[in-house]
Amino acid sequence: MRQLILDWLRLGLICFGGPAAHISVMHRVAVEERHWVQEAEFLKAMNFCMLLPGPEAHQLAVWLGWRTHGVRGGLISGTLFVLPGSLIMLAISWLYTNTQTVPAVQGLLLGLKCAALSVVLQALLRLASRVLKSPFLVLLALVSCLTSTLQLVPFPLLIANAALAGMLWYRFRSRTGVRAAAEVPDSTAAAEVQPRGEARRIVMTLCTGLLLWWLPVVCCGLLAGWSSLPVRLGLFFSRAAVLTFGGAWAVLNYVSAVVVDDFGWLTRAEMADGLGLAETTPGPLILVVQHVGFLAGWKQSGDWSPTYAGAAAALLTTWVTFAPSFLWILLGAPWLNRLSQRGWLTAIMNAVSATAVGLIAALGIGLAGSTLFSEEAALPFRQFLLPVPAFGLLRPEAVLLTGLGFVLTFAFRKGLAIILGCCASVGWLLSLLG
């Protein structure tokens, strides 16, 4: 067990970048170095995690711990994979609230935001090449991008519609006899015998997981009132955690729209800053929501110290974001073969993943508008308001830094650390030059 703790603490400190980078590091350690699992089993678990809501890299970490050391191992691996990055993000958020008005810091933040644009585009292209395998899925991605950009459909309804479309498409292809290999059920998996005592395990795991997930939120409601900020944070980010199909990039568009436009907890610039800061820390990218929680608590601290209020809100946000992932894995891990081979489930998740591609594109559009331009305008079009940039307020320094990020990412294929470091350094130098 001591070795397990050391291994996962190390992984929590060295996993930078997005989910693809995290999974590749875990593959090297789990399959090639430590030989915890075989290649085929690792790939099956990875595909299973991609079917679930929530951060897939974190879920894979929980599964690897469960696979080698049972439930206790899953709890340890999942916690240590997040803990280092969470503590670092907490410190960065505190520094941000105290130094964001310093010109040199503003230059650093602008560089990070511009670097994040290239990272978003890279994630979009990678996911699109992996997911958009048919004209139907391409159409879903385009529709989701358009509806999200124009804010025509709420995010939960968009995901539900995508799931329904995937199911209907699967039934249509089944009737016509045209199905992809991934959608054909595995008869051997279906023939598995249900383990003895499985119903009791499911009930116990579900009850314990739900209790631990919601206990902090209920305590906040009893102590501070059911309309207090901690309760609203807990409810919102719990909902977001259940709807994060497609990974962190997909849900960030939804989180950004709600916390900025609906709740007013952050400004659009602060949300973009948080995304850039999250890229600099180890652990899951979705830790950006911890930054959101910290700023919300800081601004609405009331009688509390802003630091304590921000830290408490940040930790609550992190708890309700990652607690569901533990629950999904500990519930479903024994049923890995069955669940990963269900054709209808695969079809639904393919449709949801295609929708996630469109959501990432919408996130990139919004991030580009808030980063490259001093302000945006709303152009009336029938009953809609189209968000358009004010081209007269284009920021030359942001264009330069974004171009640098694109060149480093796509021309020289540099790693995330180099891209962030170069863009932040150049942004800092530009701020010194005035």
Average pLDDT, integer, range 395-411 = 94
> At a CB cut-off of 8 Å and minimum separation 6, what does 413 contact?
none
d(CA 321, CA 228): 18
Asked if residue 402 is part of any domain, the answer here is no
Tell me how far apart the alpha carbons of residues 324 and 30 are, in angstroms, rounded to a whole number: 23
Cα-only R_g, the chain: 22
373 falls within a domain: yes
Question: How many domains in the chain?
Answer: 1
Q: Is residue 409 part of a domain?
A: no
pLDDT 10s digits, 302-338: 889 999 999 999 999 999 999 999 999 999 888 876 7
Report pLDDT for 91: 93
3-state secondary structure of 394: strand
Contact 404/114 with Cβ under 8 angstroms? yes
> Which H/E stretch holds residue 389?
strand 384-389
Looking at 46-55, 161-170, 246-255, 346-355, which range is the least confident one? 246-255
Residue 411 belongs to a domain: no
Q: With bands split at pLDDT 50, 70 and 90, how would you rate the model's confidence at 429?
A: very high
Residue numbers of the domain that contains 312: 2-189+199-389
The answer to whether position 404 is within a domain reads no
Q: Is residue 111 part of a domain?
A: yes
Nearest to 128 by CA among 428, 404, 358: 358
Residue 284, helix vs strand vs coil: coil
> What's the pLDDT score for residue 376?
59
**Residue 342 covered by a domain:** yes
Kindly state whether residue 399 falls inside one of the protein's structural domains: no
